[in-house]
Amino acid sequence: MTGALSALVLGQDRFHTGFTIPSSDGGLLVEMWDRPGAWVSDEVLAALVSNMRIVAKAGQRGKPVPLYGALLGDRADLARRCLTQVSLKRTGEPIAFCALAYFDIPFGVRMVSVVHLGLLYVTPDHQHRHLSNLLYGASTLLLLMKGGLRGFWISNVSQVPAAVGLTAHHYQDVYPRPDPRARQSFMHLLLARAIVQNHRPAFGVGAEAGFDEARQIITNAYTGGSDELKKTWESAPKHRDPAINEMCRTMLDYERGDDVLQIGRCSIMVVWRLFRSKLPKSAPVQIAWRAFLIVVLGVLSPLARWLVAPDHDVRGRPLHASDDLEVVR
Ligand SMILES: CC(C)(COP(=O)(O)OP(=O)(O)OC[C@H]1O[C@@H](n2cnc3c(N)ncnc32)[C@H](O)[C@@H]1OP(=O)(O)O)[C@@H](O)C(=O)NCCC(=O)NCCS
């Protein structure tokens, strides 16, 4: 945590935090790396990728691991992602991960940043422990705190009711979701269009997939690397809310392999929703403590940066000569 705190104070991108949650199997270690491809060593990056592949292999229950996005282990790709992993404290065995991706979408003269709720896996032996809520919830909440509580757009591409329901229940203004009040605003439409046009590789969707803009459904989606994730309706993990399951069953053609593209907002409201959702025991206290520290430091960091004299100007040029100047008479 100390590294993460000093990185926040100094305005660096190197953000890594971790905490332990007590559990009957000796405790769960939750660790989060923001943009690891931009700053971690080759060894650490290789270990992160290997952990994700171990979890994905177990999660695939004998089917090949889908090789796309974060699972490819490409440094440049991992520099645009935020990884959160859960492992058993006692043995170090990795049991779950999520790999969020950052999409920069040009919008007039501005750039809108969308946090994509990327690949999510929990090994079969540890499913139904509410680790999905913990992974998506804690990582987006800590990103919200790190961004000074400024809200951001989120997206999710999935055919799995458990993941679709998680997005619908946790975030705000999510479209589509099974609620008569849910509507597609102009912003939802523009972001959805831009994501499908420019970011297909991030969620393993090939060029041949179609897109139904009004309903935000990607048709024939399992063609660009995610093929092995395609599920039948019967095998797709369901959500506790029957309305979510019914929405997925009626909107998506599981034979063809459709995905729903959900767009929503992550704001301070998600804090309330996250803590009301089912989380592993003691996780809320740990997450709340990290969130508090990050917010406090976010407030104090401009003062700290002002007090610590910088070595470089805003364009990265050194402010001090490296050698003493020689005075020539
Ligand atoms: C999808 C996946 C991550 C869900 O893992 P999980 O451990 O079951 O997730 P959780 O325990 O957090 O449960 C998620 C939701 O599933 C449903 N669920 C979980 N356990 C359940 C149970 N015993 N009975 C009914 N519903 C249950 C709930 O709706 C739950 O949400 P809630 O706790 O807010 O009600 C897991 O099945 C997996 O790794 N699948 C393979 C990879 C994949 O398809 N990923 C998704 C697409 S990227």
* DSSP codes, 81-144: EEEEEEEETTT--EEEEEEEEEEEEEETTEEEEEEE---EEE-GGGTTSSHHHHHHHHHHHHHH
CA triplet 68, 287, 59: central angle to 5 degrees?
Answer: 30
Distance between CA 115 and CA 263 in Å, rounded?
10
Is any atom of ligand 1 closer than 6 Å to the C-beta of 121? yes
pLDDT in tens, 60-87: 999 999 989 999 999 999 999 999 999 9
Is any atom of ligand 1 closer than 6 Å to the C-beta of 99? no
Distance between CA 136 and CA 174 in Å, rounded?
15
pLDDT band at 301 (very low <50, low <70, confident <90, very high): low
Mean pLDDT of the chain: 89
**Residue that has been written with the tokens 């297909």 in this structure:** 200
Q: Whose CA is nearest to atom 42 of ligand 1?
A: 121
Residue 66 contacts residue 229 (beta carbons within 8 Å): yes
Distance between CA 320 and CA 310 in Å, rounded?
10
More confident residue, 326 or 203: 203
Is any atom of ligand 1 closer than 6 Å to the C-beta of 291? no
pLDDT in tens, 119-153: 999 999 999 999 999 999 889 988 888 888 889 99
Is any atom of ligand 1 closer than 6 Å to the C-beta of 162? yes
pLDDT of residue 83: 97
Is any atom of ligand 1 closer than 6 Å to the C-beta of 165? yes
How far is the CA of 33 from the CAs of 87, 139, 145, 167, 220, in angstroms?
14, 9, 15, 21, 32
Global confidence as pTM:
0.87
Q: Tell me the best of 127, 234, 262, 277 to mutate to test the pocket of ligand 1, counting ligand atoms within 8 Å of each CB and taking the most.
A: 127
Q: Give the nearest ligand 1 atom to 277 CA.
A: 34
pLDDT of residue 255: 95
Is any atom of ligand 1 closer than 6 Å to the C-beta of 101? no
